[in-house]
Amino acid sequence: MSLSDVTTRDTVTIPGPATPYQGDIARYWDHEARPVNLRLGDVDGLYHHHYGIGDVDHAALGEPGAPDREERLIAELHRLESAQTQVLLDHLGPVQRDDTLVDAGCGRGGSMVMAHQRFGCSVEGVTLSVKQADFANRRAKELGMEDSVRARVCNMLGMPFATGEAAASWNNESSMYVDLQDLFAEHSRILSVGGRYVTITGCWNPIYGQPSKWVSQINAHFECNIHSRREYLRAMADNRLVPQAVVDLTAETLPYWELRATSSLTTGIEEAFINSYKDGSFQYLLIAADRV
Ligand SMILES: C[S@@+](CC[C@H](N)C(=O)[O-])C[C@H]1O[C@@H](n2cnc3c(N)ncnc32)[C@H](O)[C@@H]1O
Ligand SMILES: CC(C)=CCC/C(C)=C/COP(=O)(O)OP(=O)(O)O
Ligand SMILES: [Mg+2]
């Protein structure tokens, strides 16, 4: 039995998908089992559904034809994905042990585990997928973190948190599934005044004019709707979220994609990411904002 087949008793489902589209997305993630995600997660038990940043450690990859080359390459891709999470967590600001953090669109929970390991605080996640929430809760239990790390099946546009309850919240590659005005209104509601919101996301670049064919290909591949950079900044401004840092991570994510394209775990979407990052139509962005 694989971890993804395990149903824990603790997973709470708050019914149900608000729209037919959300039902599609719930089904998509309930059925997702790509080796590029599971084999990377198996390296150390942190399961991510986001991409990597940072320079490739070529020494760690060993010799090109060596028998353990693929294993090393998988470990290196995973290291870059975890490095991405650490950069997101770096931007949360000071976090106290009695704070509550919220991971909106938490996937299999890798970022939640890393946040708890780093800050010792409670981390609450929401995802549309029962399978993902079960998986995340199972991992939290295995790690003895079940009192502090919890995933629930819930729409991030109506989260089960009181007004002002969260010291910080984030979207790690999950904001392209929702309307940004609705999303930031909800983060603004759950965050305390002075709280911090962070997103890492792919967005289309207004300088290009419109979404390029590569961006459209990424949308079709994942059934998502990538927003423009301008839309992020506008929707934040409209919802009391004031950017403190806007970091273009495009150059830092390209090595991950170029390495991934040489692996046995390609999914066919590598060319679209590489070409759109290179032609300037698409950007990998971190935005950290204060709730004012
Ligand atoms: C690409 S995965 C990112 C997972 C996670 N943030 C990570 O970094 O590993 C996108 C996630 O967004 C979630 N999602 C999409 N729309 C959502 C919604 N309306 N409410 C809650 N979760 C949603 C999906 O269920 C999935 O877990
Ligand atoms: C930056 C953008 C536009 C992201 C879209 C959201 C998404 C699907 C992220 C990665 O998930 P994954 O880890 O399941 O994807 P893959 O299987 O390609 O690794
Ligand atoms: Mg992945």
Dump pLDDT digits (tens) for 69-81.
999 999 999 999 9
Nearest bound ligand to the CA of residue 128: 1
At residue 7, the pLDDT reads 45
* Ligand 1 contact via 211 beta carbon (within 6 Å): no
pLDDT tens digit string along 125-144? 999 999 999 999 999 999 99
pTM for the model:
0.95
Q: What is the mean pLDDT of residues 163-182?
A: 98
Furthest CA-CA distance within the chain: 56
Query: Phi first, then psi: what are they for 148, rounded to 5°?
Result: -120, -20
21 C-alpha to ligand 3 centroid (Å): 22
Is residue 109 reached through a cis peptide bond, with omega within 30 degrees of 0 on the bond before it?
no
Q: Is the ipTM of this complex over 0.95?
A: yes
Beta bridge partners of 124: 102, 150
pLDDT at 40 over 50: yes
Strand partners, 291: 241
Query: For ligand 2, atom 14, which residue shows the shortest CA distance?
Result: 49
Domain region containing 58: 3-291
Count of structural domains within the chain = 1
In 3D, which of 91, 96, 82 has the Cα closest to residue 198?
Answer: 91
Question: Which ligand 1 atom sits closest to the C-alpha of 127?
Answer: 22
CATH code, domain carrying 101: 3.40.50.150
Which of the residue ranges 59-68, 159-168, 181-190 would you say has the lowest mean pLDDT? 59-68
Going from the Cα of 35 to the center of ligand 3, the distance in angstroms, rounded, reads 9
Q: How many CA atoms lie within 13 A of 132 on its CB side?
A: 30
Q: Using an 8 Å Cβ cutoff, are 198 and 101 in contact?
A: no
